[in-house]
Amino acid sequence: MDDNCLNLRRFVRQSLNVLSQPRNDAEVTSTLTCLLHLASGKYHKQYCQQLAHFDIDQDNFLFAVVEFHKNHYVNVLEFLVDRFTVEWMSLLPKRENGVKLLNQIFIKGPPDLVLIVLGQSISDPGVSYRLNKCIDLLEQLLLLHIEDILWNQCQLLRDDPLRQLWPDIIKFLATIPDRVTAKQEKETSLFFYPIQYVPYLCQAIYKCLQKVHDRIQLDQSCSVEFLSQLVGKLATTGYKEILWGTLLPPIENHLYSDAIWCRVCERWISQIPDRCLESVIVPLIEQASWYGIVGKFLGDSVLNNQKLRFLLMNKLLLVRHYQQSKIPQNILGYLSNSPRTKHLLIQTLHTLIEVWGDSSVLKHTSYEKHFYLSRAIIVCLAFIEDTDKARLKNELLPKLMTALQCHLESALPKIRHLGMVVAECLTSTLDPDGEELKFNADILGFFTFGGCSAQLASTKVATKYDTDEDLKQLKQLLIKPVNPGTSYTERELPEKLGTDQGNSAPEQVAGINTETKEIEELDSDDDLEPYDMSEDVKMTKFKTPVYLRDCMEGLISSDEPERVETCIQTAESLVYKHPANAIEIAVEFTKVLLHLQDNYAMQGFSSSRHKAMVALACVAPQMVAEYLGKEFYARNYNIRQRIDILEVLSAAAQKLTNPSGNIVSGTSKSSEMLIHEVTREKTEPDSWREIVDKRIEAKTRRFSKGRLAAASVESENKFAPVAGYFFFPLLQVFDR
């Protein structure tokens, strides 16, 4: 062992001795500061004087940091956790913020190591001050560094020894809500509730996938194996619905147009452990909007993964049954979507017809399960290509005749009707130019179609049926699902509303009005005075933001419509109210507003967004105008966003040139202050001569009087110094 390692070990031993019984405040503060700089990896000569006594200077500081993280950091953290008592914490220096330095040692170090130490500490039995302290530190760590924890694991090489920590890290990340709530019960922080914590963790997973995508674009190596294991653990823990509800919508938008995203997601799902595969795949199939999305995630994994093949082709189709028709559509559509997996679709269709037509299965399964099998067969037919129909006709029609005989001999009318509809759909699909099969009469003896015959019971079997909801649903499944696109729900809702409103006939409206009047005459409460609700304020569960950063964070969290609406309505006033703070985050806030979309059809959304961007351009004209000018020619912007940029720059320029504009920048006065000063000058006379002149003017009679011009208020033109920033960035690449 070299001298540097020995010196570091001596320093750590002395530091622990000092902290075990704190006496001298200066010595404790110096020790905590040195440990903090070793944990964070930042050297500061003024605060690291104690390290110099152990020959640890700026030259060998980086080596000391690596050695400290590798061999000493976990021991130091465990030592500090063992000292978390009320008595020991009270001995730390208060003036020098000893508790704050102690907390920073946990927060600034390698977050994955801190997570393991704190995760093990909250597993101890009993509730104590140490437990609450560790949970508080754990909450701060996850709020600040959960994305760093995940991304650090994605960058580890295959032979890196730190991979041995993966089981512990995954276990703690996936089970922290259960562990903390089991300890603190009603005192648990809201952050550790699953409805808060799991979406927060999923957002970090999505950001890491985005970083992996960016690394691949730069031809750099990266791994998603850790994310695969983490998602599998989250799904088996019971958070699969929240998991895909958070991850699927943003990822779907990328899969439609980005091949690298498809490659990342396929690799991500294919590396999920087999024991977790069912918990991950089933909710994915349930929530995917289209079978093509399932194909983007799974790729050709069904060819290589036997468990996935058994899950899709047997367990989800033959063993289980679901109310949603989207599940068999997504499974069978995925099998038909690739030439390499198309043979599996035909194999599945053969198996489904054999099970569907088995007399023993027909007797011992419920109607719901049999109806699900019938739907799966019809969905298969929807995905069969024309080139395979001739071959399948000769293979499947003999099986169909046997299966149809079992259904027509059933004592249950619903089962007989299912057999008829499936037979009609199958024959019309496989032999569209042949004889049309219709069940509209009683049949006795033999049933013949396409050269195949089936002997029925010796008694008459009624084969005429009336179409009900189940049979209508079966026939509708013959239509292949269409790609809904990224804005399916946003596009379909206004069309439905417009149709409903446009089809209301005047006669119907008149009839409704007449009935309403009659009801009002019969049940009138004229003697009751209505409450005055003119000053009522709309109440929401979200408070109006007071600070600009809170407002900006509220706009980013687009999954909460009421919060977004509250923040967008108050953004303009907050910018003018806090100009100094607005200048600090002007560009960042403008970027958020520029990319913000009206996903919830809010009233006045476009106007409020435009006013907020204009306010930022008036408060920080140079920064915002430069940013918008550069973004105008950037890629991945639609025409609407480019028009928004021009409108914001134009409106901001007009406001800056208008002397009475409502602009607050630095020490400039607002328009309300200017109006107040002008009004005071008009109402408060400056001298006795003005009083005399007013009295003379009041008693003087004039036959004609010229037009009096209002006194103009002089104001600085704030657009002149920044005019170039509004013009030249837009003109830079105009000719290219």
Residue 467: predicted pLDDT = 74
Residue 145: predicted pLDDT = 95
Residue 731: predicted pLDDT = 82
Residue 723: predicted pLDDT = 85
Compute the distance between CA of residue 243 and CA of residue 444 in angstroms, rounded to an integer.
56
Residue 561: predicted pLDDT = 82
Residues 100 and 33 sit within 8 Å (Cβ to Cβ): no
Report how far apart, in Å, the C-alpha atoms of 466 and of each of 193, 279, 366, 422 are: 52, 40, 21, 14
Compute the distance between CA of residue 101 and CA of residue 107 in angstroms, rounded to an integer.
10
Compute the distance between CA of residue 482 and CA of residue 485 in angstroms, rounded to an integer.
9
Residue 729: predicted pLDDT = 83
Nearest 5°: CA angle at 428, between 423 and 433? 145
Residue 675: predicted pLDDT = 37
Compute the distance between CA of residue 641 and CA of residue 597 in angstroms, rounded to an integer.
10
Q: State the 10-residue block means of pLDDT for the chain, 736 residues long.
A: 78 90 85 89 68 68 87 94 87 82 93 94 78 92 95 91 93 93 86 94 96 93 94 95 94 90 95 95 94 94 94 94 93 93 94 92 91 95 89 86 88 89 88 68 42 42 64 90 62 35 39 42 47 52 76 75 86 89 87 86 88 92 90 85 91 80 41 41 57 81 60 70 85 75
Among all chains, which residue has been given the structure tokens 């006709």?
Answer: 393
Q: Which two tokens stand for residue 554?
A: 């509220």
Q: Cα 159 to the chain's mean position, in Å?
A: 33
Dihedral angle, C-alpha 627, 633, 637, 639, nearest 10 °: 110
Compute the distance between CA of residue 359 and CA of residue 407 in angstroms, rounded to an integer.
8
Q: Cα 128 to the chain's mean position, in Å?
A: 36
Residue 542: predicted pLDDT = 65
Mapped onto helix, strand or coil, the DSSP state of residue 446 is strand
Q: Cα 416 to the chain's mean position, in Å?
A: 47
Q: Which residues contact 294 (CB under 8 A, 6 or more apart)?
A: 284, 285, 288, 330, 331, 333, 334
Of the chain, the end-to-end C-alpha distance in Å amounts to 63
Distinct helix (H) and strand (E) counts, the chain: 37, 2
Mapped onto helix, strand or coil, the DSSP state of residue 449 is strand
Q: Phi-psi bin for 41: left (phi > 0), alpha (psi -120 to 50), beta? A: left
Residues 454 and 401 sit within 8 Å (Cβ to Cβ): yes
Q: Cα 675 to the chain's mean position, in Å?
A: 47
